[in-house]
Amino acid sequence: MSSVMRTLAVPAAALVLLTAAAREDGEMRGYTAESAKIERNWEAKFRAIPEPGRMREALRRLSARPHHVGSPYGKDNAEWLRDQFRSYGWDANIEEFQVLFPTPKERLLEMVAPVKFTAKLEEPPLPQDPTSGQKSEQLPSYNAYSADGDVTAPLVYANYGVPADYDELERRGISVKGAIVIVRYGGSWRGIKPKVAYEHGAVGCLIYSDPKDDGYSQGEVYPNGPFRPKDGVQRGSVMDMPVYPGDPLTPGVGATKDAVRLDRKDATTIMKIPVLPISYGDAQPLLAAMTGLVAPEGWRGSLPITYRLGPGPARVHLKLAFDWSLKPIYDVIAKIPGSQYPDEWVVRGNHHDGWVNGAEDPLSGLVPELEEARAMGELMKQGWKPKRTLVYAAWDGEEPALLGSTEWVETHAKELAQKAVLYFNSDGNGRGFFGVGGSHTLERFIGDVQKDVIDPETKLTVWKRSQAQAIASGDRKARGEARDRADLRIEALGSGSDFSPFLQHAGVPTLNGGFGGEDGGGIYHSIYDSFAWYTRFSDTSFVYGRALAQTVGSTVMRMADADLLPFEFGNLAETVQGYTAELKELHDNVASRIAETNRQIDDGIFAATNDPQNPLKAPKSEPLAPALNFAPLDNADGSLTRAASRYEKAYGAAIAAGADPMTFARFNEIVARADQALLDDKGLPKRPWYKHLLYAPGLYTGYGVKTMPGAREAIEQKSWAEADIEIGRIAAAVQRETELVNRATDVLEKKVRVQP
């Protein structure tokens, strides 16, 4: 436990009461008493405006036809969105980029031995789902950025296809060299699966949806229930986005018409082997035809077969060809200029492209955003003017590769670095609990907002319901924290949506949130993600759509109107100390695992326990792990903790002393760069695009976050020299953050002269 936690832990009950009492008096972080009163009034008006019925109709309109990148209806939606923003009084325009987005020309999957079988690769239309029959406009099921290919090879089953799965295969003497790997969705982001298969020598990869994960095992299948039917397929990108997202031909720069482009063969993020997603209807005959060892217990799905590893005798022929032309994407960008700080931007976005009709993903998050924009338009008519500039975006091309957001961020990188104080992202919405992640400097701020929004099911505040969830589902430690810590923890962000370029490339303070946890389903990235599905099985009355609009809109307004930007560094310091402790524990675990394995090898334990009828090879001995130098990081963590404490006193005093525009402006300019201080321009090892040293998607997990990724992945990969270097770089970043905090505090303490 960090010193911050210790300080907070003792008088916790008192503190909670104090907070509650203070809040009744109208205290609001970053606001003088007078400003807070005004803000509360506008926010309350704002939250009364969003209408479920309008969201339903917007969802119906936007999901009426397939709207993937390059589709006619995608462009039509962008124009409609632009016009909607304009009709609300926003200055809205479309910004266009030209990106590499492959679409299928040929898809063939057939088993050639021991029996013939040709995969259907087709999702049937359903009479209960009117948009499911729009065959001429639908993208067929495929994985974007798969290689072209024509291969015939025996199948090997590799579970989720993560590196540990290949260790298991190797212990069983099974190589995937020259094979086509069949893996199931889940356990990692999908793009990891073909990448790891390729690294192990596979010539092709099939990814199927096991009914255990989102099919009949979870519940009734569509159209009778929300789960994945036999022929449902999860489309999706397999670009190597943990290296860099966005257009593969223009890393680091905007894919404008005239941008200098790489040759396609030099684009490292394009997959090297053909990859195809299939349904469990198509997978079952292939899996059933395999022999070889029975798959380990944890690898078995819910199909009524014996899951076996192969190789073969099932041999399959996989032939894929794509149209690799550039396609246009249409980002909708709408603005309201700030009345007081026009050069400070609060950015909010959700993508508008879908794989097919995309009702849940992404439109259920976009229609609340539209309602926020409409409500703010209404407030402006009543006299409200945001102090800072609002930038509302509807991104195109998120599904293939975060194309719209990445190219826009890369194009406007310099301006964002100077101006952006927040990016708030959503990507769909459902029923249940508000989940939120992002920059830990904003943990307290986003918690405060959640205390002002009412959960539609329980009529408790959204914050109270999240706290209850943390208590109900946590272990003893998590329960204690949820009860006694002043703030609920927010998640660190990995990837999988448009926040990635903002936070991890540009260092914009970022939040990402949405409701969920009570609705399940198996229509993700299929033709069945439709208006019909969403309005039967998810947030059917759009009350959570309204709650999302209320939560995000309040966040945006409160950030836009704040006297002092609401950044707080005590929680960041505590979080950074926690990550440091995790790194040490990870190192200890890796070190003792190596030592233990070596000892067991030396002692002949593997030979002694081997079953000759199910033989397992012993793993190989490895060099012991050296000790690592965590001292620089411990020192930096300590400095940040002390700086955060000093900052908080000065912050409270400055607010109590009342408005002081020049000081406040200078302070705001500094703290808005809180995440930029944590960037390192050299980026992460092997992936310079990712510059944030605290948060990144995992190189071998995909969406899943790796905190302090440089050091964490070096330890996981046993690159000890690199780990020491990365620990040093992270320590330097934390030290930069400390200096930023001290500079901001100096401003408030009037230790520096503020220029008029």
Q: Does the footprint of a second copy cover residue 601 (CB under 8 A)?
A: no
d(CA 111, CA 116) in angstroms, rounded, equals 5
Which residues have a Cβ under 8 Å from the Cβ of 710 and sit 6 or more positions away?
684, 685, 693, 722, 726, 729, 730
| By the rule CB under 8 A, 434 interacts with a second copy | no
Binding window for a second copy (CB under 8 A); candidates: 258-266, 349-357, 468-476, 726-734: 468-476
Q: Name the β-bridge partners of 345.
A: 389, 420
What is d(CA 440, CA 584) in angstroms, rounded to the nearest whole number? Answer: 21
Closest CB 602 distance from a second copy, rounded Å: 12
Q: Considering only 243-251, 601-609, 686-694, 715-723, which stretch makes contact with a second copy by CB under 8 A? A: 601-609
258: which 2 tokens? 């005239």
Binding of residue 623 to a second copy (CB under 8 A): no
Counting contacts by CB under 8 A, is residue 12 touching a second copy? no
CA 486, CA 751: separation in Å to the nearest integer? Answer: 30
**Rg of the chain taking only CA atoms, in angstroms:** 26
Nearer to a second copy, 259 or 471 (CB): 471
Binding flag, residue 594, a second copy (CB under 8 A): no
Nearer to a second copy, 339 or 598 (CB): 598
Answer whether 157's CB lies under 8 Å from 163's CB: no
* Contact residue for a second copy among 220, 266, 588, 739 (CB under 8 A): 220
Taking the complex as a whole, how short is the minimal distance between the CB of residue 294 and a second copy, in angstroms? 5
Binds a second copy by CB under 8 A, chosen from 73, 142, 166, 216: 216
Matching residue, tokens 């924290």 = 481
Q: CA 579, CA 573: separation in Å to the nearest integer? A: 10
State yes or no: residue 418 binds a second copy (CB under 8 A).
Answer: no
- Within positions 348 to 407, which residues make up the interface with a second copy, using CB under 8 A? none
Measured from the CB atom, the residue of 219 and 313 that comes closer to a second copy is 219
Q: Does 607 bind a second copy (CB under 8 A)?
A: yes
Residue 314 in tokens: 């099932």
Check residue 211 for interaction with a second copy (CB under 8 A). Answer: yes
Residue 714 CA to its chain's centroid (Å): 22
The residue with tokens 């101006």 is 419
Reference 551, options 47, 41, 24; nearest CA is 47
Q: Measured between alpha carbons, how far is 530 from 524 in angstroms, rounded to an integer?
A: 10
Closer of 417 and 543 to a second copy (Cβ): 543
* Nearer residue to a second copy within complex by CB, 89 or 474: 474
Contact 119, 109 (CB under 8 A): yes
- Put the strands of the sheet holding 180-184 in their side by side order: 117-118, 103-113, 315-323, 149-157, 180-184, 204-208, 275-278
Rounded CA-CA distance 278/228 in Å is: 12
Asked if 656 touches a second copy (CB under 8 A), the answer is no
Q: Which is nearer to a second copy, 183 or 221 (CB)?
A: 221
- Going by the DSSP 8-state scheme, the letter that residue 361 receives in this structure is I
Least CB distance to a second copy at residue 739 (A): 42
- Beta carbon of residue 447, minimum distance to a second copy (angstroms, whole number): 16
Binding span for a second copy by CB under 8 A among 213-221, 326-334, 362-370, 406-414: 213-221
Contact 128, 223 (CB under 8 A): yes
Residues 272, 464, 536, 584: which binds a second copy (CB under 8 A)? 464
Tell me if 175 contacts a second copy by CB under 8 A: no
Residues 477-506 that bind a second copy (CB under 8 A): 479
Amino acid at 753: R
* Binder of a second copy out of 15, 108, 543, 605 (CB under 8 A): 605
Q: Is 613 in the site for a second copy (CB under 8 A)?
A: yes
Query: Which of helix, strand or coil describes residue 314?
Result: coil
Q: Which residues here bind a second copy, judged by CB under 8 A?
A: 211, 216-221, 225, 294, 300, 302-307, 431-432, 457-458, 460, 464-465, 468-469, 471-473, 479, 518, 596, 600, 603-614
